[in-house]
Amino acid sequence: MPRPTAPPTGVRSRGMRILFNVLAVIVFLCAVFPVYWMLNLSFTPGDQIIQRDQSLIPREPTLLNYVTAWTRPAAPGQTDFPNALRTSLTIVAIVVLCALLFAFLASIALARFRFVGRRTFIVAILVVQMIPGEGMMFTVYNLIDDMRLMNTLVGLSLVHIAAVIPFTIWTLRGFVAGVPAELEEAAQIDGCSKQGAFWRVTFPLLAPGLVATGIFAFMQSWNEFAMALLLMKDENLTLPTWLNSFQSATEATNYGAVLAGSTLICIPVVIFFLIVQGRMTGGLAAGAVKG
């Protein structure tokens, strides 16, 4: 009895390519559809959102949900959208600047110098990233309370900086280690000072890493909810906690305004990501494999 012959290599590779493409399309649709559905319902009148007969395109598109989300007055103990937006932008600016500054200096020290405890410090950075933030909520709450920084922008900014800086140091260390020190030495031979060689040769090569880690710090601080809800109140609430104010025990939830508010919160992150997406992709990939 003749044995069945295996399909040619070209046919198998084409079949695998089609299979991977189909899987990629499925993953893409699973990731994009919730965002599309949020946009769709944000333009749908509130009385049509809770109906079971939904449409992929709003039958009667309206901007009323966005007007409601933007102009909704603050309830007692809550805040409104403009104030929450101002608070979130202030905290994010502090977090990004401080995280990049401290992480940059730390990554230079870890990649270029050999000192006692260096390896222990690197291991500590990895271990800290494995601890879930919720497991340290009680400790962080007591620490911020003892420092008298409850319900202050500085207090929440310190918490966010502590949360994002381990990953920032780890990623930047990979970039610094990937830049040969011989480049600076060659620049010094050509007449540059040590500081000039660093700022003119090494620092431009680290720009993709700074952009990538800056975006990571931006998104982590912008979307953080649990610690902001625990440490902030009244007019100092951030945007994610402001969105939580739409849920009330005394009135029905305005789902249209909630979805419109969610869309408004996403806009700054999307704009920032579109501007620097190329550097972010290359930066994260390079930082992950170097060092």
CA quadruple 193, 195, 198, 200: dihedral positive or negative?
negative
What is the DSSP secondary structure assignment for residue 73, as one 8-state letter?
Answer: P
Q: What is the pLDDT of residue 74?
A: 79
Helix (H, G, I), strand (E, B) or coil at 241: helix
Q: Distance between CA atoms of 270 and 48, rounded to whole angstroms?
A: 28
Cβ neighbors of 99 (< 8 A, separation 6 or more) are: 161, 164, 165, 168, 213, 214, 217
Q: What is the pLDDT of residue 3?
A: 63
Q: Which amino acid is at 204?
A: P
Q: What is the pLDDT of residue 146?
A: 93
CA quadruple 98, 103, 104, 109: dihedral positive or negative?
positive
pTM of the full structure: 0.80
Cβ-contact 83, 245 below 8 angstroms: no
pLDDT block averages, 10 residues each, the chain of length 291: 63 83 94 91 84 79 90 82 92 93 90 85 84 84 92 93 90 83 80 81 82 86 90 89 80 85 88 71 51 43
Q: Distance between CA atoms of 14 and 20, rounded to whole angstroms?
A: 10
